[in-house]
Amino acid sequence: MFLKRLTKKPVFNRSLFRKQLLSYFITVLIPTLMIVSVYSYTISEDLKSQLKQSSDNSVQRVSKTIQDIIDQINFYSLQLSFLPDMNRMLKNPSEFTMYDYYQLKEQVRNQINSNELFDSVYIYSSLNERFMTSGEGLYDAAAFYDQPVLKQIRSHSDESFWYEVRDNFITFYKAIPVTESKPLGTLVVNIQKDRFLNTIYSLNNIDDQNVYIVDSNGNVISAHNEAEQGALNRFIGEKNVSSSSLQKVRMNDRTYLAHIQAVQGNGWTVVNLIPYDVYKELLAAKMSKLLLIVLVVFLIGLAVAYTFAVRMYNPWKKIIEVITGSGNSKPSDDEFLLVSGAISSMIDTIKQNEPVMRDHLISDILRNNVSDNAARLEQAGFAFQEPYFAVIVAVFDAMRPEDEEDPQRKLIVYSMVSETLKKYFPVEGTILDRSKLGFIVNLPESGMEDDVRQLIYQCYSEMNGVAQDELNISLQLIVSDAEPTDRLHVAYEQIRRMLNYKAVINRNDIVFLQDHKSELKLVYPLLLQKQLIHSVTAMNIVKANQCVADLFEQYIYKSKYPFEKLQGMIVVLMSSVLNELLKEGHDIGSLNDEVDIFKLNECQNNDELYQFMITHIRKIIDFLEAQQDKQVTNQYVTKTIVYMEAHYGSSLSITEIAEEIGVSSGHLSRTFKAETGKSMLEYLTEFRINKSKELLSSCNDSLHEIGQSVGYNDVQSFIRFFKKYEGMTPGEYRKSI
């Protein structure tokens, strides 16, 4: 009812949906049925194997018990063979008296009584054809009451051991004595059939209804009724059961799994019949669990198939509605034709956009986004004949700032570079990120031979001329070695890493990766570093710029050192300058915001790197000059002022003051001038004049006395300095008060 209601939904009325649902369901159902079939067969075989293993154990125990009984008979015959009276009776029966027979019979009887398995024993003497029995006494062969035994002995005169299954007994025959090469008699042991079977069953703890013992003549040794024994005889006679496996057989309207195993040494066979109902019950228990799992899988498969069908049909439904413009109306019955037409139209569109797709393929190959590059190139229609490829990355930068934002510039440059390369090589390319173009060049040999290099130089010369003269751009080429297609992404990755060091590459140049693989030992420019540090700390911008120029001339412009070492050298050099400022006690915290060494990675070529270093050195020198201007206090200046104000009345010199402060006179003079804006002599003179003005207004001492009190031993010197600073003589000053 659920499926009937489900199929009435509108979505099931779509023929395409039904086909999809059926296909998905069959896709789930067929593997499920195959797995169920295999698993069912495996369960059946495992059950049979378990039953056979159990039967093997049971049959083997029965076979071992039968062999043990036969071993007892052999051991008994060996015991008799060592009895002196037994040997004498068999060898010289004429000298053996009735008393001797009686004594021997009692010995045999006692041994039988100690073995409950043996029912009776006969000893046949072939020389005088007499039977000595354990219970009845001595008989001549002709008068012996068990004539079938005599018949067996005479018919098997050439055998040393055999047996006979009779109505109620199993009779074993053993030639004695076993110590003689030619037997002189026969030991006959009678075992009741029921006792024989009960012994086997009880010793092995088995159900006697399932185990049958069959002698070499096909006679069943069992306590079953005649009908069962007859059916078993017919079954054994057909010989349709292999001892290596369980086979299904039918007996007396019942079905069994039969297992047969022969007892080694005597030709007997043990047959174990396992009721087929036991097998069916075990199989049904396991199959019920399996069917439950199958039902769950079936329902899950149906749900998954329905979900997939709905999800897969919805895009088709939308496509059909778009194609037909039907909206919610019923679409055409021939949905496949509609979609096929749409696909054909899509293919035409793809062909029109094929160049774009080819460009994307080259980009994916370089970035290792695809596998099997050779096959993908062939599928895309690239006609490359040679086995090796080199990667060329073209990097361009606008030479004028106004050209940076030109949206057509990248396409124009790509077209120019691509067309120029194609004049010399089989090549395909793509536009990469930023201002980079990527190309793969087909070459006949691996590596990078001189003739190929010359062609690349010639090609670069042609395209670089156009780039500079007509497009106003600088152009760099990075060229890898020629390698198989599966290593194109490795070559591109090597180029991409090298582009991290563009700051040390010439603005217009070709770089071959092969030329920069050697690890040349870089001799660090210690002398240039010392000169640069000295020039910067001395705030000599001219000498500092000359050091940078020498560095680029010796290491950057003409060097073959690896780019990463050159760039690292620049970082260390600039860091050493800043480190020297730290050693001199400068606080360069604010300078770090303006001088970021690691921004050199943003330089696009060595010209920009040169300007980067010149600019940053200028900033460092400006910082030092600003630091010098901003200093307002100094402990040496303070001590100097205190000392001069305390000893202004004495004759003071700059050397004397410097020795008292503890610094050189030159450094003290420069520092004092920088801090106060006055020289030490000017400051001291002004202080003395101010003190003399105080004395002129407060006392009537002579000018000579006042001059001496403020440090002027010569009155004329006092008058001259006073007039210089006050514009009048000391006398005129006193009168004006």
User: How many CA atoms does the CB half-sphere of 5 hold within 13 Å?
Assistant: 2
Distance CA 301, CA 33 (A): 12
CA pair distance 367, 493, nearest whole angstrom: 8
The phi and psi torsions of 476 (rounded to 5 degrees) equal -120, 145
Residue 349 neighbours by CB under 8 Å, 6+ apart: none
pTM of the model: 0.40
**151: phi then psi, degrees, rounded to nearest 5:** -60, -40
Beta carbons within 8 Å of 607's beta carbon, 6+ residues apart: 506, 507
pLDDT digits (tens, 9 = 90+) for 398-411: 766 656 656 677 88
The fold adopted by the segment(s) 50-275 is: Beta-Lactamase (3.30.450)
The one-letter amino acid at 695: L
Which regions in the chain score pLDDT beneath 50? Answer: 1-13, 208, 240-241, 328-332, 353, 631-633
Mapped onto helix, strand or coil, the DSSP state of residue 169 is strand
> pLDDT tens-digit profile of 404-452?
656 677 888 888 888 988 888 888 888 887 788 889 898 888 877 888 8
Judge if 50-275 and 354-515 fold alike in CATH terms.
no
CATH of domain 354-515: 3.30.70.270
d(CA 344, CA 147): 105
Give 458-498 pLDDT, tens digit per residue: 998 888 888 888 888 888 888 888 888 888 888 888 888 87
Tell me phi and psi for residue 56, to 5 degrees.
-55, -45
**What is the residue extent of each domain of the chain?**
50-275, 354-515, 522-677
Q: What is the pLDDT of residues 573-631, one digit of tens each?
A: 888 888 887 777 777 776 766 777 777 777 778 788 888 888 888 888 887 777 665 54
Q: What is the pairing mode between strands 138-140 and 185-192?
A: unpaired
Of 297, 250, 241, 239, the closest CA to residue 277 belongs to 250
Phi, psi torsion values for 85, nearest 5 degrees: -65, -35
How many helices, marked H, and strands, marked E, lie in the chain?
Answer: 26, 16
Contacts 24+ apart (CB under 8 A), 137-143: 137/105, 138/98, 138/101, 138/105
Q: Report CA-CA distances (Å) from 721 to 81, 322, 729.
A: 164, 108, 9
Burial of 234 (0-12, 13-18, 19+ CB in 10 A): exposed
Contacting residues for 397 by C-beta, under 8 A, at least 6 apart: 435, 473, 474, 507, 604, 605
Looking only at the bridges linking them, the beta strands covering 185-192 and 211-214 are unpaired
Tokens standing for residue 631: 């200093």
